[in-house]
Amino acid sequence: MKIKLLILLLSINLFASSYGELLFNGNCITCHSTNELNKSAPTIIEIQKIYKSSFPLKKDFIHYMSTWVLNPNKETSLMDDAIEKYKLMPMLGYDKETLEEISSYLYDLTN
Question: Of 96, 18, 27, whose CA–CA distance to 62 is shortest?
Answer: 96
Judged by CB under 6 A, the number of residues near ligand HEC is 25
Of 27, 83, 78, residue with least CA distance to 52: 78
The whole-angstrom separation of Cα 84 and Cα 57 is: 28
Member of 68, 100, 104, 105 binding ligand HEC (CB under 6 A): 68
Q: Which stretch binds ligand HEC (CB under 6 A): 2-10, 11-19, 55-63, 81-89?
A: 81-89
- 65 scored as a contact of ligand HEC (CB under 6 A): yes
Contact 110, 19 (CB under 8 A): no
Report the residue from 16, 45, 70, 82 that binds ligand HEC according to the rule CB under 6 A: 82
Toward ligand HEC, which CB reaches closer, 82 or 109?
Answer: 82
